[in-house]
């Protein structure tokens, strides 16, 4: 293996990959959004760019959306940068301490909200910063803290965004580029000739399962109930005739009704419409759980609906829903049933086979819901040789970021060999080389699909298994993700042209950073 040789980069540490050096050259000349599949070394590109900026006596500020990612980057750059101090800041520190870290460190990594608040309060400025790196740059929309930080970045400072998947919405990608002052897009895929030599094969396996009779009965009853209430919304002239019943449709109806209410329209249509669309959202969620998750998770959700209906101040939607005969039939089935989703048994079989074939295997199971995470973990803990842990977010009594970091560290060391994770494990985190990733369900987001898939095939060939319940919402989610992923790839080229035409100028030359001593 040939290693990168450059001032400021520790020798014998970073593999010399031509595509990374080529992308780094672009970043040094023009503010660039770097789009690379997970595992192809976006951080190594940032390292090359950072070393060149540091060589010229400027500081580097790197922003990452979560504390685990910040810790990960601090560890990486501390090891890879030679002769430079790497500092880490967080919001728990006193402002005076953060100011001292900014002044004394060559390279600073932190969460964006911390810097945003400090800049607003004039704790320090970015006058000595020559490079700002936005990790997971696709977050740079709306009121996210990246957007505010970017307002303080000087025109002669290099800005660099990094993401594995910016999404398929052209307007959102353009918004990210506008918000972060990014004027060029450098994108590579596994198929590009300069990338393919470094890519390990990832085999995607679609596993279709059939719904058991009891879950189908539940789904049918819930869909009958949904039809009843959707018809009522239609009769109230609140639905779009070209749009089937969906959560997105219901949220659109709610937004329209709230606007009418804010304008002072206090009519039966508005109040009844708000109740009915709320009932529809609850039914749609129950259908999703029945078809894609299973009986245990659905039971937990319906129990919460029942409890809300009996609360001291219950909502009209809950109170009405639990009295419907279709709902009562569903609750009777769900309450008594011992049936689990067939996906559970397939996961147990897959993990068992992998560990039997190679006891050193590492597996990640992704699932949409925390309740499913608990059920899957409990079942997998009974598989021979499986050492199982769960990785969940901080909300509602979940894992603190320190606990998340500890779990990932134990997974890297092999103390755990199976991680069951919610979306917290999808983005950015260096989870370690895994042999397989299992999707408990397809997700309709191309960003999340790419992030999930990228957890394997990083240091060796990997397998991806996607579990799909036949004839259910799983199939719709699977199709949506595929369509959006293709759209994303098609539209990135279009956006590059748009950015250049908006600028109306040749590429901006930063001028300070010649790139002639990287080998």
Q: Model confidence over 155-174: pLDDT tens digits?
A: 999 999 998 877 667 788 88
Domain covering 213-336 in this structure, CATH number? 1.20.1320.20
Taking the domains of the chain in order of start, what are their residue ranges? Answer: 18-198, 202-210+341-475, 213-336
Identify the pLDDT of residue 69.
86
Identify the pLDDT of residue 199.
61
Name the packing angle between helices 342-357 and 370-380 (round to 10°). Answer: 50
Report whether pLDDT(286) > 90.
yes
Q: Of 67-76, 91-100, 137-146, where does mean pLDDT reach its minimum?
A: 67-76
Question: Which DSSP string do the residues of 185-211 spell out, in sequence order?
Answer: EEE--TTSTTTGGGPPPEEEEEEEEPP
Domain covering 202-210+341-475 in this structure, CATH number? 3.40.50.300
- pLDDT (mean) for 376-387: 94
Architecture of domain 18-198: 3-Layer(aba) Sandwich (3.40)
Matching CATH topology for 18-198 and 202-210+341-475?
yes
Report whether pLDDT(383) > 80.
yes
Identify the pLDDT of residue 512.
47
Confidence of residue 515 (pLDDT cuts 50, 70, 90): very low
Report whether pLDDT(261) > 70.
yes
Q: Of 195-199, 444-448, 451-455, 495-499, where does mean pLDDT reach its minimum?
A: 451-455
Read off the DSSP letter of residue 472. S
Confidence of residue 517 (pLDDT cuts 50, 70, 90): very low
Please tell me the distance from the alpha carbon of residue 238 to that of residue 232, in angstroms, as a whole number: 9
Q: Model confidence over 140-152: pLDDT tens digits?
A: 999 999 999 999 9
Please give the mean pLDDT across all residues of the chain.
86
Q: At a CB cut-off of 8 Å and minimum separation 6, what does 296 contact?
A: 340, 371, 375
Please tell me the distance from the alpha carbon of residue 51 to that of residue 46, in angstroms, as a whole number: 8
- pLDDT (mean) for 53-70: 92
- pLDDT (mean) for 33-56: 89
- Model pTM score: 0.67
Report whether pLDDT(344) > 70.
yes
Place of tokens 């540091």: 54
Please tell me the distance from the alpha carbon of residue 338 to that of residue 252, in angstroms, as a whole number: 37
Please tell me the distance from the alpha carbon of residue 358 to that of residue 132, in angstroms, as a whole number: 43
Q: Model confidence over 390-411: pLDDT tens digits?
A: 988 777 778 887 888 888 889 8
């Amino acid at each position: 293996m040939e290693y990168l040789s450059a001032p400021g980069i520790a020798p014998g540490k970073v593999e010399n990959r031509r595509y990374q050096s080529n992308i780094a050259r672009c970043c040094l000349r023009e503010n660039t959004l770097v789009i690379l599949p997970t595992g192809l070394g976006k951080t190594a590109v940032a390292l090359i760019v950072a070393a060149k900026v540091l060589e010229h006596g400027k500081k580097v500020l790197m922003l990452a959306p979560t504390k685990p990612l910040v810790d990960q980057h601090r560890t990486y750059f501390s090891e890879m940068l030679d002769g430079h101090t790497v500092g880490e800041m967080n919001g728990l520190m006193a402002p005076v301490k953060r100011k001292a870290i900014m002044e004394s460190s060559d390279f600073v990594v932190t969460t964006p909200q911390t810097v945003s608040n400090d800049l607003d309060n004039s704790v320090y400025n970015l006058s000595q910063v020559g490079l700002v790196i936005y990790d997971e740059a696709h977050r740079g929309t709306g009121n996210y803290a990246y957007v505010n930080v970017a307002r303080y970045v000087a025109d002669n400072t290099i800005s660099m965004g990094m993401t594995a998947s910016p999404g398929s919405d052209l307007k959102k990608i353009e918004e990210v580029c506008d918000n972060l002052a990014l004027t060029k897009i450098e994108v590579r895929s596994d198929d590009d000739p300069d990338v393919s030599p470094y890519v390990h094969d990832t085999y995607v396996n679609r596993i279709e399962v059939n719904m058991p009779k009891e879950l189908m009965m539940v789904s049918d009853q819930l869909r009958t109930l949904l039809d009843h209430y959707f018809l009522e919304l239609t009769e109230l002239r609140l639905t779009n005739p070209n749009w089937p019943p969906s959560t997105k449709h219901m949220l659109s109806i709610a937004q329209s009704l709230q606007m009418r209410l804010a304008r002072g329209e206090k009519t039966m249509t508005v109040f009844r419409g708000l109740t009915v669309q709320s009932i529809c959202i609850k039914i749609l969620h129950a259908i999703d759980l029945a078809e894609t998750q299973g009986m245990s998770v659905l039971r937990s959700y319906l129990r919460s609906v029942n409890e809300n209906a009996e609360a001291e101040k219950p909502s009209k939607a809950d109170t009405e829903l639990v009295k419907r005969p279709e709902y009562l039939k569903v609750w009777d089935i769900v309450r008594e049933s011992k049936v689990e989703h067939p996906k559970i048994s397939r996961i147990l079989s897959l993990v068992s086979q992998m560990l039997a074939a190679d006891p050193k295997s590492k597996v990640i199971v992704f699932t949409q819901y925390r309740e499913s995470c608990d059920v899957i973990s409990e079942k997998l803990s009974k598989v021979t040789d499986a050492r199982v842990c769960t990785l969940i977010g901080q909300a509602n009594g979940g894992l603190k970021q320190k606990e998340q970091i500890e779990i990932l560290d134990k997974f890297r060391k092999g103390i755990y060999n199976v991680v069951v994770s919610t979306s917290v494990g999808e983005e950015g985190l260096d989870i370690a080389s895994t042999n397989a990733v299992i999707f408990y369900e397809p997700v309709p987001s191309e960003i999340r699909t790419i992030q999930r898939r990228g957890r394997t095939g990083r240091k060796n060939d990997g397998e991806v298994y996607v579990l799909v319940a036949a004839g259910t919402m799983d199939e719709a989610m699977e199709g949506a993700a595929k369509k959006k992923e293709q759209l994303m790839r098609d539209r990135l080229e279009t956006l590059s042209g748009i950015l250049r035409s908006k600028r109306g100028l040749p590429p901006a030359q930063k001028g300070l950073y010649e790139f002639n001593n990287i080998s």
